[in-house]
Chain A
Amino acid sequence: MTRYFAKLILTLIAAITLPITASAQGTRINLDFPDLAAKASETVDVTLDGPMLRLAGKFLSNGDADERAAKEMISGLAGIYVRSYEFDHEGEYDKSQAERIRQQLGPTWKKIVKVASRTKEDVDIYADTRGDAITGLLIISAEPKEFTVVNIVGPVDLEKLAGLEGQFGIPHISGDVHSKHRKDKSHE
């Protein structure tokens, strides 16, 4: 009889905690853009799920301030996914791609920032919120010659994330990231 109750209690605990754990991980958004990749002159494609993030974390140096900050940032994350496409000419990509991504967002996603610019860069930031906690982040950036989407799955500290760039000591990202990516690709 005691065993029966113990099993029942364990089952109840599992039934309650599993959905909470799953929801705390946030949602991964589908970021497949085969058309854009074919047209782009340069592409950044980063897919780091949980095991790869943990592996990357092991290779981050504690002696380097940037990498220490990165290590702190990724603890508890379930995935980081980035797609960035740079084009030779303006208007070479369909801006409705952003809409296709927005359609995937469920009711827990809230737009927290919208930056609209006629000539520069439109940036939309969405947060997957469960209670007071942010359990996922989506950044959509559309520039005349560049389209970038970032999806972070897991608890995100927005202040820390924004503060990383200053810590990395890089004023603007585009050139450096893409040249780095080319190097990465050649190793694969």
Chain B
Amino acid sequence: MNFEDDLARAFERKSAPDGFADRVLSRLEAPPRQTSSLLRRIAAAIVLTAALGGLTAHQIIEHRRNEEGERARRQLMTALHIASAKMRVAQRAVAHD
């Protein structure tokens, strides 16, 4: 055993195992890995959920604002009814004097 023999063995030409070329070619033609598709689906789901959440929140805020506005309108009409009625009482009393 000497260095030259070892070197010659290491560089010795060896043929590839059976089916190696087919395996390489089939790997190249295979569809992209399943994981990247799953990630895209998760991302899409997150975006959709965020959009739906935003829309719902907007609708809730709008609904509350409408309720508040409607309540303010009713209160205003009540207040003006009362104020006007009292003014009329005074007006009638002044007119009778």
A interface, CB within 8 angstroms of B: 44, 46, 48, 52-53, 55-60, 66-67, 70, 73-74, 80-82, 84, 113, 115, 117, 121, 123, 125, 137, 139, 141, 148, 150, 152, 158, 161-166, 168, 170, 172-173, 176-177, 180-181, 183-184, 187-188
Given contacts A66-B77, A70-B77, contact A161 B72 (CB under 8 A): no
Supposing A161-B83, A165-B84, A181-B78 touch, asked if A48 and B72 sit within 8 A by C-beta, the answer is yes
Task: Return the contact of A176 from the options B71, B79, B81 (Cβ within 8 A).
Answer: B81
CB distance from A142 to the nearest CB of B (A): 11
Q: Beyond A82-B78, A82-B79, A172-B85: 15 further Cβ-contacts under 8 Å?
A: A55-B69, A59-B73, A80-B76, A82-B82, A117-B93, A123-B93, A139-B87, A141-B86, A161-B80, A161-B87, A163-B84, A165-B81, A173-B81, A177-B82, A187-B67
Please count how many residues in chain B sit with their CB below 8 Å of the partner chain's CB atoms. 27
Is B52 close to A, CB under 8 A?
Answer: no
For the complex, what is the distance from the CA of A188 to the CA of B64, rounded to whole Å?
Answer: 11
Residues of B within 8 A of A (CB): 67-91, 93-94
Given contacts A56-B73, A184-B74, whether A46 and B85 have CB atoms under 8 Å apart is no
Chain B residues with CB under 8 Å of A80's CB are 76, 79-80, 83
**With a CB–CB cut-off of 8 A, which chain A residues contact B86?**
123, 125, 139, 141, 148, 150
A59 and B72 CA atoms in complex are apart in Å by 8
Which of chain B's residues has its CB closest to A69's CB?
A: B80
> How many angstroms between the C-alpha atoms of A60 and B70 in the bound complex?
9
The 11 sampled A-B contact pairs (Cβ below 8 Å) are A46-B76, A80-B83, A81-B79, A125-B90, A139-B86, A150-B86, A165-B81, A165-B87, A168-B80, A170-B81, A173-B81
Instruction: Name the CB-closest residue of A to B90.
Output: A113
Q: Which residues of A contact B87 (CB under 8 A)?
A: 125, 139, 158, 161-162, 165
What chain B residues lie within 8 Å of A141 (beta carbons)?
A: 86, 89
Which of B68, B77, B83 is the most central at the interface, judged by chain A CB atoms within 10 Å of its CB? B83
Given contacts A55-B72, A59-B69, A123-B90, contact A162 B78 (CB under 8 A): no
